[in-house]
Structure 1
Amino acid sequence: MPFQFDHLRTLAALVEEGTFEAAARRLHVTSSAVSQRVRALEQTAGKVLVRRTNPVTATPAGEVVLRHARQVLLLDGDVLAELRRGEDERGRIPVPLAVNADSLATWFLDALADLPDELGAVFELHREDEEHTVSLLRSGTVMAAVTSAPDAVQGCSVEGLGTLRYQAVCTPEFDERHLGGRGDPGMLAGAPVVHFDRRDELQDRFVRDFTGREPAGPRHYVPASEDFARAVALGLGWGAVPEQQCRAGLESGRLVALAPDHPVEVRLYWQRWNLRSPVLDRVTEAVRAGARAWLRPL
């Protein structure tokens, strides 16, 4: 028995809204109707698809069906947009995307801003570390992602975008206090450092690669790209900052490059659902163009 469109739409609304009541309000039906549709969908799938928690979450089987539901909804939105082209009132197509914080702060929004309003897309951006964005693709939460994973997730295609280059930097005052006034990266293992969050490995990787030592200095965590760069510029610690964000500070002397000939490079890829969608195709073209303008070639 094939999945019914209303059941798939209800599953997506339930997981996105988090409760049966909120999903009912969004779909303009009763909570009982939402529950009945989800139960019918589970009977069709032969598996439990959602955990009845607060908020509701998808089970592993539910993530598979949820990904299918969102793909169906995307194609449905494409068709409606095509039919309504030229009309005054037009439905919008939701496009959830995953992107790492540094791309979001430097080049990704510029790429999306180049898309025409006539495309009819509305974006829901999920900020996630580039090493973990693929998990959102696997779960069906997003349609496409900027990621450091070169191997395609099942049901997705992948292409290289370019390399985001970082420089290990600190303030001159920090250099005097902690690095002997010589910008000596050999002393970084014991110096205060700024991390984006507890999953941020860039600084530790730099210390290990450059010094062969294990980092042991005090750690600050600043989970926002612009605030991270500002924390380094204020002397809270040293950190690996995207070149676009630290170039002005280096040129003015407000920042010191600790190893200018040894940048940290992160390869970025674009993974997207492997289906034909005019909206997703246009988004991919815009991201590809933005990457060419901002990133170094792979």
Structure 2
Amino acid sequence: MPFQFDHLRTLTALVDEGSFEGAAHRLWVSTSAVSQRVRAMEQAAGTVLVRRTAPVGTTPAGDVLLRHARQVVMLDEDTARALRAEGHEHGRVTVPLAVNADSLATWFTLALAAVPEELGAAFEIHREDEQHTTELLRSGTVMGAVTSRPETVQGCSVHPLGALHYRAVCSPDFARRHLRGQDAAALARAPVVNYDRNDELQDRFVRGFVGREPEGPRHYVPATEDFARVVVLGLGWGLVPEHQCTELVAAGRLVELAPAHPVRARLHWQRWNVSSPVLDAVSEAVRAAAAEHLHAPG
């Protein structure tokens, strides 16, 4: 079932751009050429690979081919960069990665900055909950992912990174209004801040600490810095990474609700199990940054 290199590159461009017109613009070909290449791949595979939606998506069979296509394109870019190195004309190798928002805001960008510039990595970051980043890895959307799941995705390798610690905090005024003079059960009824509807940290904390299901009003704030700001302003309580709340607690702008009970999110690094100088360097930088900024799993 041979696939031409141009066809594989077209598939990655189509998924990245989200439309046939966008892929055509990126590849400097006509829209009809993109359509013809997709049809040729589908004929070779004997099944539909691309969902003609907005944005364009892939079928389960398309996910398999997309992963193969990204690996082939990455290896080709690695090779081209190495061949050009003598002339000091460094090409760029696109490296799509998936990472949870709190890691992205606290330590992950330090890893990206540590990747040697001469390797020519161009990063495309997909921000996703750590429970779901492996889905992007499995589909071929990304080459590496920070994830809470230790189970190895097929065709990948996994490395434990450490734990990101969270603290249950709220503003002093919020504590007076909603928690003063009440037992811990009041926390389950108090307004809470969630990152988005996939964020389960606060719910798990309440079940473990209070022993009941949370039932308070919810605010959804899908940005790490804004999440912490909303908690400081007193709209609700929430679990904030230690990196972001330690100074605020020391300054009296936040109070800890359970100092002896930090929430530990254990993180892992999963990447494609292929030989690539760029991906190897990214993995090394991620592990080094995690060792410096994350807690031991404990």
Give the alignment's TM-score, normalised by structure 2: 0.97
Q: Cα 1:226–1:86, aligned 2, differ >3 Å: closer, same or farther? A: farther
Cα offsets for 1:194-236 (capped at 9, x unmatched): 1101111111111110111111111111000111011111111
| Equivalent position SS for 1:85 | helix
Corresponding residue for residue 206 of structure 1: 205
Corresponding residue for residue 9 of structure 2: 9
Deviates more, 1:115-124 or 1:93-102: 115-124
Aligned-residue offset at 1:90 = 2.2
Corresponding residue for residue 273 of structure 1: 272
Aligned-residue offset at 1:181 = 5.9
Aligned-residue offset at 1:186 = 3.3
Corresponding residue for residue 291 of structure 1: 290
Contact preservation (8 Å) 1:15, 1:56: yes
Aligned-residue offset at 1:16 = 1.4
- Superposed, 1:77-156 pairs within 5 Å as 77-156=77-156
RMSD: 1.2
Contact preservation (8 Å) 2:164, 2:267: yes
Corresponding residue for residue 188 of structure 1: 187
Corresponding residue for residue 53 of structure 2: 53
| Number of equivalent positions | 297
Contact preservation (8 Å) 2:90, 2:118: no
Contact preservation (8 Å) 1:94, 1:123: yes
Give the alignment's TM-score, normalised by structure 1: 0.97
Corresponding residue for residue 252 of structure 2: 253
Aligned-residue offset at 1:55 = 2.2
Contact preservation (8 Å) 2:8, 2:69: yes
In the alignment, structure 2 segments of 5+ residues that lack a partner are none
Corresponding residue for residue 24 of structure 2: 24
Contact preservation (8 Å) 1:175, 1:181: no
Aligned-residue offset at 1:81 = 1.2
| Equivalent position SS for 2:43 | helix
Contact preservation (8 Å) 2:81, 2:91: yes
Q: Cα 1:68–1:8, aligned 2, differ >3 Å: closer, same or farther? A: same
Measured in 2, the distance between the counterparts of 1:54 and 1:105 equals 30
* Residue 33 of structure 2 is aligned to residue 33 of structure 1: yes
Q: Which amino acid aligns with 1:158?
A: V
Q: Which amino acid aligns with 1:139?
A: S
Deviates more, 1:193-202 or 1:23-32: 23-32
Aligned-residue offset at 1:175 = 0.8
Measured in 2, the distance between the counterparts of 1:126 and 1:134 equals 11
Q: Which amino acid aligns with 1:63?
A: D
Corresponding residue for residue 226 of structure 1: 225
Aligned-residue offset at 1:255 = 1.0
Contact preservation (8 Å) 1:132, 1:147: yes
Corresponding residue for residue 237 of structure 2: 238
Aligned-residue offset at 1:88 = 4.2
Corresponding residue for residue 158 of structure 1: 158
Cα offsets for 1:111-139 (capped at 9, x unmatched): 11112211100100000000000110111
Task: Name the % identity.
Answer: 69
Measured in 2, the distance between the counterparts of 1:238 and 1:75 equals 47
